[in-house]
Structure 1
Amino acid sequence: MSMSNELKTYTLQELYAHPMEPISWLAEGLLAPGLYFLGGSPKVGKSWLALQLCLAVCRGESFLGFRTRKSEVLYLALEDGPRRLHARALRLTEEAPAGLHLCGHAPMIGQGLEQQLDRMLAEHPGIRLVIIDTLQKVRMVAGANASYGNDYQDAAALKELADRCNVCLLVIHHLRKMPDEDPFNRLSGTNGLTGAADGTIILIRQKRQEGTALLTATGRDIEDVELTLEFSDCCWSRSCSPDELQLMYLLPSIRQLLAAGGFLGSATELVEKLGQQSALWGPAQLSRYLQSHKDALAAQGILLDTKRSNHKRFLSLCLTESDTGDGNDGCDSGGQARDVPSQPSSPSLTSQAS
């Protein structure tokens, strides 16, 4: 078959005429279909983090605070046998979720790996996440012998498979021992790996005996992420800043308030309805706090807007349709809270205390 000598082009107007589908996240804001690297020093806890991700995606549960899309997972645990995997999994959960496929042996890139993955994904179309632990186990040329071309060629082969099968392919890799101000430069090998990838996640502990680590992530479809994690009982968890703790403290009462419909009212009325949970703020403080965390609220399925009427400012809050599950989100078609009948104010904090 002869190759065409003409470039296949399209105009920006044509592109605008065909809106793109939204990103189908595996972990919202962190992992999407494509090729990703997870780098960390030996024994830092990468495999624990990978297994934790497997369990979260299989169950559709939150992973380090990121929402996941419930899917089947293929985990190529090429450095761990069944006995170790069994012991590790029991440390994290007593109930095995459905849809977690495990494998301890795989061929090399270019020596049958792609074909075996193709076959597995065709037989199990529910798999949306594939984890290879580690890259060194599937490479013909590695370490100091790998050139930029070798690195890019191997990564490009994995990237092509991920794109063709529309899966998130997460490859675990090691870091260089030499420190660097840019954590992404510490991924072992050349820039050929990260150059072909859609995103890179780095897990670094300053000292091996420390129970905390810094997770940084960057990519084509994600905003830069930097999280402090804690490792306890073989499980990674996200350390909350005081600001995040305040939001977590407020969320349950906001959700309870909005469960019956949207809220439209003044900041003073919102403070009264939230009761004790808003005791840390006055009306003006709460209004400013919520508006400064509008994106964080949206990530939790809560839409916030402000309105003005008769020189007064009103807050509009409602749950997104996906968060209510029944389509009755208290919002109109434009995402605004419907005008709701005024209800008697909740008892004030003073009357509650008495």
Structure 2
Amino acid sequence: MTSAYDTPDTSDTDQKDAENLLAGLRDGAWLDAQEFPPLQYAVDGLLPEGFSLLIGPPKAGKSWLALGLLLAIAGGRPAVGRIAMSTKRRVLYLALEDGDRRMQDRCRNLLNGEPIPPLFHYLTQVQPGRVVATIEAFLEQHPDTALIVVDTLGKVMPPSQPGESAYQRDYRVAGRLKVIADMRPGLAVSVLHHDRKAIADDFVDAVSGTHGLAGAADTIIVLARKRQSSEAVLKVTGRDVPEAEYALTMTNGEWVLDGANLAEAAQTAQHREETADRSDRTIDIATFVRQHPAGVQAKKVAERFGPDAYKYLTRLTDDGLISKFKRGLYGPVSEVSEESETEEAA
């Protein structure tokens, strides 16, 4: 007879539960012995495999950018005008704010008379609540797909389930799209989404809605463009890519890197930021100082630009655009100049 104070024997159940919970446990020796394939890119150096968000304000040109990347991949054309494609690869565009006529017009505009590539596939309508199933059905037929773009997230975002917070809903939807990408090495899934109305310096804070979307994303790409401007900056950050900013220009709907490659476009973006809202005189003095890697005497700067150059040198140094090597000696910002400033302070 079992007493009420007796403890049931659950050792077998606990052991099985522990085995299930630790089924995926790895140790350092296992990890050290693995040889993982290198990270693959849909667009070299810019858009890696995995789940990404392309963020920007309405009418900023996100759809033009996405379509340009898709056509470049499918047709083997240079992406953003500069990044070469080694081969043609299949893509899918869920253009849920477009129709066939607009799609044709935009493709022809970007291709400059070239045929629309057969490896470019698109849908303008998806059954309500079936975007994930639609993507999976396409991948079953075309497992060689390199990039899938959903334009826009708002068109496929379902309502929250009973008892589910907005954060949980966002993470659930984004998480399902991320699983699709994670289960297929080499596949990039990118979702277009609007940014917050307020300007945010942090990538995560730029994402409209809760942090559930950004938390699920492997990569976040922000297209920062002022209204009516033909220039923009593409800000990229992620788990597997270095944080960087690249300058773009738009001509007839086509976004092109402002530079011969990503490195030059990054330099252009930095120059734009440094010269924004600054006078020509400030820019001229900063440029002159940077032309002297070993440093230039403040006296020589004043001889060239006038006696008020001293206050410009102080302001440029305070803003981090040039460095003060030592008293009266200025030069470009570099590791050497930073070391000199540290030694001088000591």
Task: Give your verdict on TM over 0.5.
Answer: yes
3-state SS of 1:215 partner: strand
* Higher deviation after alignment, 179-188 or 35-44: 179-188
CA distance in 1: counterparts of 2:106 and 2:208, whole angstroms = 26
Q: One-letter code of the match for 2:240?
A: D
Match of 1:114 in 2: 132
Match of 1:220 in 2: 239
Listed as ranges, the matches of 1:275-354 within 5 Å are: none
How far apart are residue 102 of structure 1 and its match?
A: 1.0
Match of 1:185 in 2: 205
Quick check: 1:37 aligned with 2:56? no
> Would the aligned equivalents of 2:249 and 2:256 in 1 still touch at CA under 8 Å?
yes
Structure 1, unmatched stretches of 5+, are 248-354
3-state SS of 1:21 partner: coil
Quick check: 1:173 aligned with 2:200? no
Match of 1:153 in 2: 172
Cα separation, partners in 2 of 1:182 and 1:222, compared to 1, 3 Å: same
Quick check: 1:26 aligned with 2:45? no
CA distance in 2: counterparts of 1:40 and 1:146, whole angstroms = 24
* Higher deviation after alignment, 65-74 or 118-127: 65-74
Q: One-letter code of the match for 2:64?
A: W
CA distance in 1: counterparts of 2:227 and 2:188, whole angstroms = 29
Q: One-letter code of the match for 1:54?
A: L
Quick check: 1:59 aligned with 2:75? yes
Provide TM-score, normalisation by structure 1.
0.63
Provide TM-score, normalisation by structure 2.
0.65
How far apart are residue 7 of structure 1 and its match?
A: 4.5
Listed as ranges, the matches of 1:203-282 within 5 Å are: 203-205=223-225, 207-240=226-259, 244=264
Q: One-letter code of the match for 1:157?
A: R
3-state SS of 2:41 partner: coil
Q: One-letter code of the match for 1:49?
A: L
> Would the aligned equivalents of 1:55 and 1:100 in 2 still touch at CA under 8 Å?
yes
Per-residue CA deviation, residues 87-112 of structure 1 (Å, 9 max, x unaligned), is 1111111221121001001134xx32
Listed as ranges, the matches of 1:81-100 within 5 Å are: 81-93=99-111, 94=113, 95-100=115-120
CA distance in 1: counterparts of 2:201 and 2:49, whole angstroms = 29
Structure 1 runs of 4+ with >4 Å offset: none
How far apart are residue 67 of structure 1 and its match?
A: 4.2
Match of 1:9 in 2: 25
- Structure with higher Rg: it is 2
Identity %: 36
CA distance in 2: counterparts of 1:185 and 1:116, whole angstroms = 30
3-state SS of 1:39 partner: strand
How many residue pairs end up in the alignment?
240
Q: One-letter code of the match for 1:176?
A: R
CA-atom RMSD, angstroms? 2.4
